[in-house]
Structure 1
Amino acid sequence: MSSLKRTATVAFTAAALLLAGVSLPADDFSFDDFGSSDFGDDTGTATAGNSSALEVHGELDGSLRATVGEDALSDIGAISSEDDSIEYGSEAKLNLTYTGDKIDAFINLQLDPDRLDEDMSTLFDEAYLRYYGSGFDFETGLMKVVWGKGDQLHVVDLLNSDDLTDFINPDYIDRRIAVPMAKLNVQVGGQGKLEFVYIPTLTPNTNPTSGAWATQQAQDLAAAVTSYLDTLAGSDAVFTTLNSYEDMLYPDTDTLDYSQAAVRWTDSFGGMDVGALYYCGFLKDPSVDVANLDISYDRLHAFGLEAGGILAGFNLRSEAAYYMTEDIAGDDPVVHNNSLNYLVGFDRDLPLHNINLNMQATGSYILNNDEISSGDIEYDSDDDYSSNLIVCKISDTFNHEKVSIEAKGIYEIEDEDWMIGPVITLAPNGEFEFSAEARFFGGDDDGRLGQFDESSYLQLKVKAMF
């Protein structure tokens, strides 16, 4: 989305919130209960507040990250090398919430110097209004909405895109990109809900073409684009820079031609939460015809089911989705095939100290893969058209939850690659956190995780909340 259009999307919301706050008495200005904000909350139909109030919460983060891949370790002491450098990151978040009798307003600001340097519109992480009616509520603005029962993994959450610039590390909601949308929530029966969503334009995934987290596919695309532009304008022409190829080759998705719509039904029966949804939109990653250097986004119809509940002490969760593109036969080399996608998992508190075990498996299977041949965008030289991840997380807390430890592991079955991520967090009070963590990657160098083996790192992070 262009900076101008993204800023315009939040202008009305910001103005409404500021005007609403002008008439507030001083007693209604609160800094209490950080963490209870409604930002990104999509757990059910909300109820209107009983009194007007403007609340402001925020946090400041600072981190030091040292790469410990083999190349980085071998280059320690080499002044000319950049592989062994230490990366410093800083970020501030400011959340403003106005609660009225019939209208709530939310603005979530994210002040990341690196992102703002590239795109000032990233200042607004979310900005939207919510109106409460009789038996329904209506939301509109720049929003993040999470659908599905998975725990930071989903196959039915299709409304927002991902910022994959540092995709391994942020929480799921933090790497999601807010998009302009209108959302109507209608109460059905005692606990049921119908959600209707309209998104006027398409915001694709942000895929870096260079740096530690650039996938091989993104790097190959960048190389192909550079080579193509070299042939058009000469190797020393300004058009060979990657700053200009997007306008030349990518379609303009900031038009109504890329509108999306979705509907979701959820309800509870006998302690089991269930849901079903339909999404009409587009895949968020491009389809690339390398031979003709044509880049497009495949139209997608997605049909999803979800279910979750507690059984014998296990908190169960599941999702299933059928992705249908225009290549139903599977023989179009520049359009993604249809696919089946799933997620199953559970978490359970173990009868040992405060240990919690969380396990999930997610994957996909490409249909009609016998029609895929060399040159197809989904071609695999090993004829392996399934992808399955197993994610395991075990955690414990000590000293009245002031100290927590966690170990997370991800294993990709087909490529036999993996990631291990231990972390320890100290939280002496509700205003300060200190954490030390690591991420180690290994396995197949061409695998989804193994390709980042040189990006393994150690990190220290400090967070202050107010």
Structure 2
Amino acid sequence: MKGINTPGQALDERGLASLPPQRARYFTLRFLHSLGRATSRLLPFPSLRLEMKSMVSILLVLLLASLPLSAFDGFTDIFGPVDEVAATEGSLETPFAPSFGINGTVGFSIEGMRALDDTREIETAVGGGLEIDLSWKGSIVDAQAKLALQPTIDTPLQWVDIFKELSITSYFEGGRLEAGLLKKEWGSGDAVHVVDVLNAPDYRNGIVDDPLAMKVAEPMVLTTATWNDTALEVVYKPMLVPMLAAEDPEHRWSMLTDAQAALFSSATVNQVTSAELSRFTNGQYGARLVGTFGPADLGLVYYNGFYTQPAYDLRAYYTSGGAIDIGFTRAQLFATEATVITGAFTFMFEGGFWLSEDSSATETETYNSKWVYLGAVGMLIPGTGAYASVTYHGQYILGFDETNPIDVDTIKASQSSDGKAYMNTLTAAVDIPLAREKVTVRLAGTYQIETKGYALLPSLMYSISDDLVFKVAGRLFGAVGDAPDSLFKTWAANDSLAVGITYLF
């Protein structure tokens, strides 16, 4: 599966795992569309900027911890001196040579969207910037830094905007250990997941067709061990990183209804500090076990962490006009996943149970336990090179009390599922290569069944040359008919069209 050494992998020039052809075909066909979890994270989050000083300290500890591995004992059996390598057909095997690499992109784009105060006017925003990917590939240690300098006028730069990924990977016999600011993907779904829990989402600029770009790189230590057709991945995260959303209730990408925006504009909100987020008690951990059985990949997931969306305690505000307190709900995820490849079709399944710290569903300021589920099918259309997928996913909240207006589950459901305990969403996408794959047309959309809200993300990408790409992309939001409040209805005025060009080096 993505993010780990999957069972049945071949070895590269260093003796490290790489995908065999039959598995590489599946992952090559999976394209990016970021629609799945947008309707499941529907509450705003006031600024929780993490202090760079504490972040760097934690990162150094994580990176240094990855170096003195006792597991390197016996590793020379694989990567021994050249004169100890057995001869093949009368010649010695060429030793692996360490290398340093640098690549990246320089881009420029202009996006136009309707002005909020006058829909007859068009506001323009200039985007783009510089992205650099630095990498060092050694015999048993790799290092990588992905940096981005993409300043915007209305979104102040934070560390999460600059450090897209920062990691050291140490290899040992039968596995590897990674530490740093990482982005990982769990689950079998086609970019849409219900068990992908390792990275908080970023909704400050709405949703885009790149799910990786909408993940926040988080500090974590992750180790992977593989044997035969099985792989075990274990992860530890030392701090809580919450979801990111527009801070201002009046911002065009605010995730609030009009009534919620009025409430948070007038009330005093006690924000969680970076010191509180980085406490040892906020550590999170989990494991993922996957195996290959014929045409199927099956997996088990356990995670002990937090819901990344904030929970609001409104009791003091409604009883005495006091402040609104923000908190986070700890929960455990017990889940399973499966991928089955049959000819041109790929079937994907995910399902799990979130056991909340409020298992009795009696506390209004914490989220309840819930079931989550996903089913998807992807198809390579014969003779065209096009790939299409359809995903159905949702959740069911236990102990839901629709009569309590200050319960956090009720507040969330009022915008995400028309006040119901269940929420179901359909997502579809198609990727069509044209002109000998120089042109790619992508059509992606999602429909939230209970609220009738929708989002469409069409795009066209033209490879002018191997290192120059032109792209046109649109974003359309809204709701069908006389629909109830929803995230996409809130964003109905944010339809946009962007034109950009990117140079790859």
> How big is the shift at 1:121?
6.0
> How big is the shift at 1:157?
1.1
Pairing 1:419–2:455 present? yes
1:315-361 C-alpha deviation (Å, 9 max, x unpaired): 11111121110222223211111111111111112235333221111
Counterpart code for 2:170: Y
Q: Give distance in 1, aligned partners of 2:288 and 2:473.
A: 37
Q: Of the candidates 277, 295, 313, which is equivalent to residue 289 of structure 1?
A: 313
Q: Is the 8 A contact 2:209 2:457 kept in 1?
A: no
Q: Secondary structure at the match of 1:449?
A: helix
Query: In the alignment, what sits opposite 2:436?
Result: 400
Pairing 1:156–2:227 present? no
Structural mapping, 1:428-439, within 5 Å: 428-439=464-475
Q: Give distance in 2, aligned partners of 1:416 and 1:222.
A: 22
Pairing 1:57–2:103 present? yes
- RMSD after superposition: 2.6
Query: In the alignment, what sits opposite 1:23?
Result: none
Query: In the alignment, what sits opposite 1:246?
Result: 271
Q: Give distance in 2, aligned partners of 1:96 and 1:424.
A: 29
Change over 3 Å in CA distance of 1:446–1:461 after alignment to 2: same
> How big is the shift at 1:51?
2.1
1:114-166 C-alpha deviation (Å, 9 max, x unpaired): 39943256322111111111112111111111111112211111111111112
Q: Of the candidates 197, 204, 212, which is equivalent to residue 252 of structure 2?
A: 212
Query: In the alignment, what sits opposite 2:492?
Result: 453
**Ranges in structure 1 where 5+ consecutive residues have no aligned partner:** 17-48, 77-83, 230-241
Query: In the alignment, what sits opposite 2:238?
Result: 200
Counterpart code for 1:185: T
Change over 3 Å in CA distance of 1:407–1:72 after alignment to 2: farther
Structural mapping, 1:69-88, within 5 Å: 72-74=118-120, 76=121, 84-88=122-126
Counterpart code for 1:355: A
Deviates more, 1:362-371 or 1:140-149: 362-371
Counterpart code for 1:376: D
Q: Give distance in 2, aligned partners of 1:72 and 1:415.
A: 26
Q: Is the 8 A contact 2:131 2:147 kept in 1?
A: yes
Query: In the alignment, what sits opposite 2:79?
Result: none
Deviates more, 1:126-135 or 1:421-430: 421-430
Number of corresponding residues: 409
* Aligned residues with identical type, % of pairs: 24
1:17-55 C-alpha deviation (Å, 9 max, x unpaired): xxxxxxxxxxxxxxxxxxxxxxxxxxxxxxxx9320001
Q: Give distance in 1, aligned partners of 2:193 and 2:109.
A: 28
Q: Give distance in 2, aligned partners of 1:289 and 1:13.
A: 34
Q: Give distance in 2, aligned partners of 1:12 and 1:259.
A: 15
Q: Is the 8 A contact 2:115 2:123 kept in 1?
A: no
Q: Give distance in 2, aligned partners of 1:383 and 1:169.
A: 26
Q: Give distance in 2, aligned partners of 1:464 and 1:458.
A: 20
Q: Secondary structure at the match of 1:158?
A: coil
Q: Give distance in 1, aligned partners of 2:142 and 2:295.
A: 31
Q: Of the candidates 68, 83, 91, which is equivalent to residue 129 of structure 2?
A: 91
Q: Is the 8 A contact 1:191 1:268 kept in 2?
A: yes
Change over 3 Å in CA distance of 1:120–1:365 after alignment to 2: closer
Q: Give distance in 1, aligned partners of 2:403 and 2:275.
A: 25
Query: In the alignment, what sits opposite 2:84?
Result: none
Pairing 1:308–2:339 present? yes
Pairing 1:389–2:398 present? no
Q: Give distance in 2, aligned partners of 1:405 and 1:122.
A: 28
Q: Is the 8 A contact 1:331 1:371 kept in 2?
A: no
List structure 1 segments (4+ residues) > 6 angstroms apart after TM superposition.
12-16, 219-222
> How big is the shift at 1:446?
1.4
Change over 3 Å in CA distance of 1:88–1:196 after alignment to 2: same
> How big is the shift at 1:300?
0.9
Q: Give distance in 1, aligned partners of 2:499 and 2:419.
A: 42
Which one has more relative contact order, counting CA pairs under 8 Å at least 6 apart? Answer: 2
Q: Give distance in 2, aligned partners of 1:14 and 1:349.
A: 41
Change over 3 Å in CA distance of 1:321–1:72 after alignment to 2: farther
Counterpart code for 1:309: V
Q: Is the 8 A contact 1:209 1:215 kept in 2?
A: no
Q: Is the 8 A contact 1:10 1:127 kept in 2?
A: no
Pairing 1:258–2:282 present? yes
TM-score (norm 1): 0.81
> How big is the shift at 1:15?
11
TM-score (norm 2): 0.75
> How big is the shift at 1:364?
0.9
> How big is the shift at 1:9?
4.3
Pairing 1:440–2:476 present? yes
